[in-house]
Structures are given as C-alpha cells and as structure tokens.
Amino acid sequence: MHGVAVARKRIKAREQARRADKQPRTQADSWAAVRAAKSAMGYALRGCHAMKLVLLTGTAYVAAVFAAGFVLGVLRTLVLAPLLGELGAVLVELPVILSIAWLVCARLLRRWPLSPPAAAAMDGIAFLLLMLAEAGLSTLLAGRSLAEHLALYALRPHQLGLAGQLAFAVFPWMQARRWPGPPG
C-alpha cells in the first residue's frame, strides 16, 4: 500500500501545480498518471505475492519434514528407544532428520527462491506450524493435555528435540543467505 500512497501524492502534486499555472492537462500527463498508478499497484501486488510465496514455501517445508519426522519418530520409539534408551535414540535420530530438513529446504528454495528477509519470515511460519503440529499430534495420539505436552520440554530428550526444531527453523534463512533469491 505504500507504493499506492506515493503514486497518489505525486499525482495530486502535479494536479496542484497545474492548477496553479492554469495549464490544461495534456495527454502525456494522463499517461504519466496511468503509469504511476500501474507501478504502484504492481508494487502492492508484488508484496502480496511474496507473502503468499513465503506461506506456501513454509507450509511445504513443514509438511515434508514433519512427514519424515513422523516416520523417524515411530522408528525411534519402537526400535531405537528400547535398545539405546530415549536419549540415545534422539541422539541417533536428530542428525538424520536435520539432514532431511536441510535437503528439503534447499530443494524448496531452489524451486521458489526467497530473499533472506523473506526466508526469515518463512523461518517463523515453519517453526510455528511445526510446534502446532507437534502439540496436536501429542494431544491426539498420546492423549496428553497441552500442559502435559509442554512439561515434556523439561526432559533432556525433548530439549534436544527442541534444539533440533530451532535449527530446522533457521535453515531457510541460512540457505537464503548462502544462495540469495530475489531482492526484497
């Protein structure tokens, strides 16, 4: 909307200057006004498109990594935890899921490049969606209340998982800085 307001101010200033000089409006002035309005609208639409792209990319990132994490979580719980204990199982799973997250993020940002500020927005969206999905899964499948789910973060394996989720959330920004997308 900022671009639209600037274009309107420019057009208004031209009109006031023309009235002061009592000059009739020329066709060139009309075309200049049309170009300014189109430019301002393009600016506003680019901002809207960028936000949609950030939401799309963040949601796709969470969906892919959450699906992989769900499968790895089942394997961790049923196979690794009885053998290594919960902490050992998380220590084995964490590098695998973070590698998957890094590769998924790289693929998504190659397909839909984002600037570092847009990727930072993607970070926040991805982290929020991941935490909501995890809390939902914990309450639906494990039958925990939200308070019980949050209390799990006092345990060392869940603290490591949270650290992994924070790394997952920062990957888009790191990769966008490494391979920058479009400006803005």
Cα torsion 172, 177, 183, 184: sign: positive
Distance separating alpha carbons of residues 40 and 35, to the nearest angstrom: 9
The structural domains of the chain, with segments of one domain joined by +, span: 50-178
Indicate the Cα dihedral angle 137, 139, 144, 148, nearest 10°.
Answer: 80
The two structure tokens encoding residue 30: 């009309």
What rounded mean pLDDT belongs to the chain? 84
Task: With 0.75 as the threshold, say if the pTM is over it.
Answer: no
Give tens-digit pLDDT for 39-48. Answer: 544 444 356 7
Distance separating alpha carbons of residues 42 and 4, to the nearest angstrom: 9
pLDDT for the residue 44: 41
* Res. 161: pLDDT tops 50: yes
Count the Cβ atoms, other than its own, within 10 Å of residue 12.
Answer: 10
pLDDT for the residue 180: 63
Cβ contacts of residue 146 below 8 Å, gap of 6+? 135, 139
Cα angle for residues 6, 37, 33 (degrees, 5° grid): 95
* Res. 25: pLDDT tops 80: no
Give tens-digit pLDDT for 68-107. Answer: 999 999 999 999 999 999 999 999 999 999 999 999 999 9
Q: Would you say 57 and 114 are in contact if contact means Cβ atoms under 8 Å apart?
A: yes
Q: Would you say 114 and 122 are in contact if contact means Cβ atoms under 8 Å apart?
A: yes
Give tens-digit pLDDT for 123-132. Answer: 999 999 999 9
Q: Would you say 168 and 99 are in contact if contact means Cβ atoms under 8 Å apart?
A: no
DSSP state of 134: H
User: What are phi and psi for residue 44, nearest 5 degrees?
Assistant: -65, -40
The two structure tokens encoding residue 25: 């409006």
